[in-house]
A and B are shown apart, each in its own frame.
Chain A
Amino acid sequence: MILIEHLVKTFRRVRALDSIDLSIGPSERVALVGSNGAGKTTLIRCLLGEYVCDGTVRIDGFDPRRQRAAALARIGFVPQLPPPLRMPVSQLVGFSAALCGVEPRRIVAVAGQLGLDVEAVRARQFVSLSGGMKQKLLIAIALGRDARVLVLDEPAASLDPEARRIFFDLLAQRLDETTMILSSHRLAEVSALVNRVVEMDMGRVALDDKVAGDIAPDIRLPCRIVLGRFEPAFVKALDGWEFAADAEQRIWHGEIAGPDRLRFLGIMSRYTGLVISFSLGDDPQ
């Protein structure tokens, strides 16, 4: 699906990508990780045909520089930072849908699943939406089409837990036919979604490993938390995770999306002193 051979990108005298070789097959979900300046963004821009580079880049056999429209028709892209587009939401949806050859209602439907009512914000400028709304719309544009490759740069960073859960469900529906590249600074953010990890460092592939994952992206893990005492800060931390509590607000029940478990555990770790019992999944831990 994606073939990269001897890819070199140089900015003046600095080698941002140094002879990268990667072959990513259909249904592979790759976590592209690395620190700032490792070359993740440069690699993504080469994949999107936005940089001139040496070597070979092919998306489903198409060169993203010379056969842009054909190559990019296969890629759904979500940038890390939403662009400051001044166009109204309806125009962005219409423009993207027309270029991608899909009905705008498909994008609107995906946005609706993520919790964004496009009709309610259709006249608003994209740039004036909240960070989460922008992210939902960009994800909807990427997923609301027949993209065979998804390039997602920190895609869930601005989403609330419920939207993230739905996002993981949407990705899970495409596991068999879609190649995914999820870029992130932190492996924990995307590790549960992927079956391969490519770590970049100084423009080179430092690690390329298959990850055997037993937890599907759309799985729900039941969670039970017992607190030693009521704590308002804890209640605030659980906001958005859709947990229910007993009358004393000491025993909490809810469900965590499988790919979100590390993120959730990270939040829980801040309240270790409060938690007297914690279980996640079928077996109490």
Chain B
Amino acid sequence: MKQLLLTARLDVAESLRARWFQVYTLVFGGIVALLFAFGLTESRVLGFIGLSRLLVTYIQLTMAILPIFVLITTVRSVAGDRETGVLEYLLALPISLGAWFWGKFLGRYAVTFAPVFLAMLGAAAWGAFNGIDVPWAMFGYYTALLAAMALCFLGLGMLISALARSTDVAQGAAFLLWLALLLFLDLILLGVMIQGHLSPEAAVTIALVNPLQVFRTAALALFDPQLIVLGPSAYVIFDLFGADGFRVFALAYPSALGLVAASAGYVIFRRGNLL
């Protein structure tokens, strides 16, 4: 445990010094600041007002940015350490591979989730201070959703890092994965699949294998509980899970996917050449 915490602390300190982290923090802090600046808390659209609108917009933007940020920075860090000899030296110190891998995972999780959460927390604090009604239930669920999303993509990033032997390959693979998930995010694509005589259940199931789609749908469900914007897909989702079931699924599935991917990455890392 001591080794794990030492590694986690080392990774946190490394990240805090890294330029990617400064940009990352600036992006999420900047998004919230911009949303405030554009008066999203003041506006009323389709009966949707106050801080909840800001949070909805924020989470939509986060979903576009966070996965690629987490994937690229994770694989760059781990594969880069391997290429430059950092790993050769640090792993010659008496540390177990489990402590190193999971310590790295823990540290990176903290630094990827913290700025996103703190930006949102800052918005809520600002809202509370100015007497704007803060939708705490929505805030809590969005926090959990963001935590699950960070866990999911960090796990996938660690798996890619364990598989790829060079930074270039790791970055390419991370980018391709993100692109593939984006492509299957398109509901039009799903429509085409259904037109091609794929059963709606199968099409929706394929869509919900994609963690990005799960996040997006869960975020939509908070202000559109009937998922009207999804059209007939909503019926399939509610038939499969029910409204509450889907909310739980949207947290549990990506988290499990991230942990399974990270565990697979650990097994590959432990069994193969470390360098």
A residues apposed to B, CB below 8 Å: 45, 48-52, 68-73, 75, 77, 79, 81-87, 91, 95-96, 98-100, 138
What are 15 A-to-B residue pairs whose CB atoms are below 8 Å?
A45-B88, A45-B275, A48-B91, A48-B92, A77-B92, A79-B88, A79-B92, A83-B85, A83-B86, A84-B85, A85-B86, A86-B14, A87-B14, A91-B10, A95-B10
Q: A68 with B85: in contact, given A50-B92, A50-B274, A52-B272 (CB under 8 Å)?
A: no
Distance from B174 Cβ to chain A, minimum over Cβ atoms (Å) = 21
**Contact string, B84-102, partner A, CB cutoff 8 A, digits 1/0?**
1110111111111100000
Q: Contact: B3 with A99, CB < 8 Å?
A: yes
Task: Please name all residues of chain A whose beta carbon is closer than 8 Å to the beta carbon of B89 when the two chains form the complex.
Answer: 77, 79, 82-83, 85, 138
- How far does the alpha carbon of A51 sit from the alpha carbon of B88 in the complex, in Å? 10
Q: How far is the CA of A96 from the CA of B90 in the complex (A)?
A: 9
Q: Shortest distance in angstroms between A124's beta carbon and chain B's nearest beta carbon?
A: 12
- From known contacts A87-B13, A95-B10, infer whether A68 and B84 are also in contact, taking CB-CB under 8 Å: no
Give the total of B residues in contact with A, Cβ under 8 Å: 26
Binding site for A on B (CB under 8 A): 2-3, 6, 10, 13-14, 17-18, 84-86, 88-97, 271-275
B92's nearest neighbour on chain A, judged by CB, is A77
Give Cα A54–Cα B226 distance, bound, in whole angstroms. Answer: 60
Cβ–Cβ < 8 Å partners of A52 in chain B: 271-273
List, in ascending order, chain B residues with CB within 8 A of A79's CB.
Answer: 85, 88-89, 92
- B271 CB contacts on chain A under 8 angstroms: 52
Q: Which residues of A contact B92 (CB under 8 A)?
A: 48, 50, 72, 75, 77, 79
B13 and A81 within 8 A (CB): no
A201 to B275, CA, bound (A): 22
User: Which residues of the partner chain B approach A71 to less than 8 Å between Cβ atoms?
Assistant: 94
Q: A50-B274, A86-B14, A98-B2 are in contact. Are A68 and B88 (CB under 8 A)?
A: no
Q: Is the CB of A68 within 8 A of B6?
A: no
Residues of A within 8 Å of B3, CB to CB, are 69, 99
By a CB distance below 8 angstroms, the chain A residues around B86 are 83-85
Q: How far is the CB of A143 from chain B (nearest CB, A)?
A: 14
Whether the pair A86, B2 counts as a contact (CB closer than 8 A) is no
Q: Is the CB of B6 within 8 A of A99?
A: yes
Which residue, of B2, B94, B96, has the highest number of chain A Cβ atoms within 10 A?
B94
Q: Are the CB atoms of B94 and A73 closer together than 8 Å?
A: yes
| Chain A residue contacts of B17, Cβ below 8 A | 86-87
A50 neighbours in B (Cβ, 8 Å):
88, 91-92, 273-275
B contact residues around A69 at 8 Å (CB): 3, 94-96
- Nearest to A125 among chain B residues (CB) is B17
Q: Which residues of A contact B2 (CB under 8 A)?
A: 98
Indicate which residue in B10, B13, B96, B272 contacts A68 across the interface (CB closer than 8 Å): B96
Partner of B97, one of A68, A73, A98: A68
Chain B residue numbers with a CB within 8 Å of A45 are 88, 275
What 16 additional pairs, Cβ within 8 angstroms, besides A72-B94, A79-B85, A85-B89?
A45-B275, A49-B91, A50-B275, A69-B95, A72-B92, A73-B94, A77-B92, A79-B89, A81-B85, A86-B18, A95-B6, A95-B10, A99-B3, A99-B93, A99-B94, A138-B89
